[in-house]
Amino acid sequence: MKNFDVVIVGGGTAGLMLARELGKLKHKVLILDRKKNLLEFSFNTLGSFLKVEDFGLSENVIAQKIDTAAIHSKYFKHNIKGEAFILDKKLVHKELLDSLDMKYVTIQLQTNIKKIYKDSKGRYTSIEDKNGNKYEAKIFVDASGTVGVLSKIEGLREKNVDFAPGVEYNVKYLGKPTDAHLYFGKELKGGYAWIFPLKNKRAIVGFGSVDAGMFKNLKNTLNDFIESPRIKKLVVKDNNFIEGGSLPITPVLDNFVKQNLVCVGDSVSQVNPIVGEGYKFIFEAAIMASKAISKSLEQNSLDCLFEYEDVWRKRFLANYKRSKIAQKRVVKLSNSDFLSNLAMLILLKLRPNYKNVNSLSGEY
Ligand SMILES: Cc1cc2nc3c(=O)[nH]c(=O)nc-3n(C[C@H](O)[C@H](O)[C@H](O)COP(=O)(O)OP(=O)(O)OC[C@H]3O[C@@H](n4cnc5c(N)ncnc54)[C@H](O)[C@@H]3O)c2cc1C
């Protein structure tokens, strides 16, 4: 086995972006992933405020440009004007994979990591997969998403994580291609729904909830929602193929580094709470982590790794706290039509547009 500078567990959003940046800086990286194919996902569409060019991606990954987010309560609708994007997840990950410098980055699939070992000083020495194979490196990264295989063992994430599951269908779309729709109110039983337009008169319609009791009812609630008269004007369900997954909504602990272990992405709840946008925030975090890891390797000092936490806190912590408060309010409002209509009138309609855009994008 080659001598790696960094072993990354997980070749998803965070792992690929981090590997790309470390490869550019000529560090030897091994990505280990339990999947057979890094381009197979349980859902394929993303809503995002990220600018693709900021992260070295081409416009080909954009499934649809959005200029309006229409927020719907039972009786009111309010349009928030601003640029956003619906991204094709497979194309985003394909471009990331294609941009890896394979002179420096090695990918090994079907490798399910289970354990991490440390020496008497607490420094991590190797990780082990379920077949007992060990992998050594100077620095280990947990980018294993909601599994958080190393972050959980090492206490950088709470053991019991709260999840917000979501389900979605790809459907025929009758609305304006540049309008995305977000719904909340009592008919959604404390959850929220969305319609993300795609090209060719298609759209994604989805439903998510932060209420653990709703987990089993997600599909039925989404089916009922699609059948409601106001939604029928916008989408026609022409297949039964359902996609979905779960977001971590446990508050970020903002400790991402322990000795020579670094965590990025959903493994440490870095997804922004307000609309569950992960990509923009996780890409930025991965780039921050890559800089600290590179400096640490060059200076042979683990202290440099903590610069990643410092930079992250300065950029994101206050925003995350505000988004978390906003998320709790949205959940409360969503349980009552009276409150959701009132919030629509007072919070959204009376505030200037730019403030609403800031709240939605998690940037204040
Ligand atoms: C239903 C849903 C809708 C979403 N919608 C949006 C959206 O619209 N916009 C947006 O920006 N974000 C969205 N997100 C959030 C976003 O997808 C995540 O925040 C982001 O993908 C997390 O990236 P990650 O790299 O941390 O984890 P992942 O991308 O999940 O990658 C983790 C990788 O680790 C691997 N792995 C796990 N355990 C192990 C192990 N033990 N050993 C080896 N490999 C392992 C997995 O196979 C996987 O490839 C959504 C999430 C869900 C679930």
The Cβ-side half-sphere exposure at 30, using a 13 Å CA radius, reads 20
Q: What is the pLDDT of residues 230-272, one digit of tens each?
A: 999 999 999 999 999 888 888 888 899 999 999 999 999 998 8
Give me the chain's average pLDDT, please: 93
Check residue 2 and give its pLDDT.
61
Q: How far is the CA of 247 from the centre of ligand 1 (A)?
A: 8
User: Do 104 and 54 share a structural domain?
Assistant: no
Closest-lying ligand 1 atom to the alpha carbon of residue 13? 25
Top pLDDT among 154 and 284 is at 284
Residues in the chain: 364
- Token pair for 245: 């997954």
How far apart CA 241 and CA 313 sit, in angstroms, is 40
Measured in Å, residue 148 CA sits from the centre of ligand 1 at 11
Indicate whether 122 and 232 sit together in one domain: no
Over residues 36-50, the pLDDT tens digits come to 999 999 999 999 999
Assess whether the C-beta atom of 46 lies below 6 angstroms from ligand 1: yes
The residues that bridge with 248 in the sheet, in sequence order, are 163
Mean pLDDT of 277-295: 96
In this structure, which residue's CA is closest to atom 31 in ligand 1? 12
The CATH code of the domain that includes 72 is: 3.30.9.30
Is residue 24 domain-shared with residue 104, that is, in the same domain?
yes
- Examine the domain organization and report whether 240 and 342 are in the same domain: yes
d(Cα 74, Cα 120) in Å, to the nearest integer? 60
Quick check: 209 and 189 in contact, CB under 8 A?
yes
The conformation of residue 55, written as its DSSP 8-state character, comes to G
Mark 343-360 as b/e (b = at least 16 C-beta within 10 Å): bbeebbeeeeeeebbbbb
One domain, residues 281 and 308: yes
Question: Regarding beta strands 257-258 and 261-263, do their DSSP bridges make them parallel or antiparallel, or are they unpaired?
Answer: antiparallel
Ligand 1 mean position, distance from CA 11 (Å): 9
Q: Could you tell me the CATH number of the domain that includes residue 30? A: 3.50.50.60
The DSSP 8-state label assigned to residue 251 in this structure reads P
> Average pLDDT in the 43-60 region?
95
Q: Is it the case that residue 1 has pLDDT exceeding 60? A: no
Q: 94, 146, 147: which to mutate for ligand 1, most atoms within 8 A of CB?
A: 147
Considering the domain architecture, whether residues 185 and 284 belong to the same structural domain is answered as no
| Number of domains the chain contains | 2
Do residue 156 and residue 169 come from a single domain?
A: no
Write down the pLDDT at residue 185: 86
The set of long-range contacts for 133-136, using a CB threshold of 8 Å and a minimum separation of 24, is: 135/1, 135/4, 135/7, 135/30, 135/32, 136/1, 136/3, 136/4, 136/7
CB distance 190 to ligand 1 below 6 Å: no
Rounded CA Rg of the chain: 21
Of 140, 186, 181, whose CA–CA distance to 6 is shortest? Answer: 140
Query: Cβ(244)–Cβ(165) under 8 Å?
Result: yes
Residues 34 and 50 in one domain: no
For residue 279, which atom of ligand 1 is closest to its CA? 11
Residues 38 and 105 in one domain: yes
Closest to 303 (Cα-Cα) out of 313, 315, 293, 318: 293
Q: Which domain holds residue 211?
A: 45-86+164-248+329-361
Q: Is residue 32 domain-shared with residue 109, that is, in the same domain?
A: yes
> How many angstroms is it from 327 CA to the middle of ligand 1?
20
Residue 169 has a pLDDT of 98
Q: What SS3 class is residue 95?
A: helix
Contact 88 CB / ligand 1 (< 6 Å)? no
Same domain, 309 and 176: no
Q: What span, in angstroms and rounded, lies between the C-alpha atoms of 6 and 260?
A: 10
pTM exceeding 0.85: yes
Residue to substitute in 249, 269, 279, 323 for testing ligand 1 pocket (most ligand atoms within 8 angstroms of CB)? 279
My answer on whether 192 and 270 are in the same domain is no
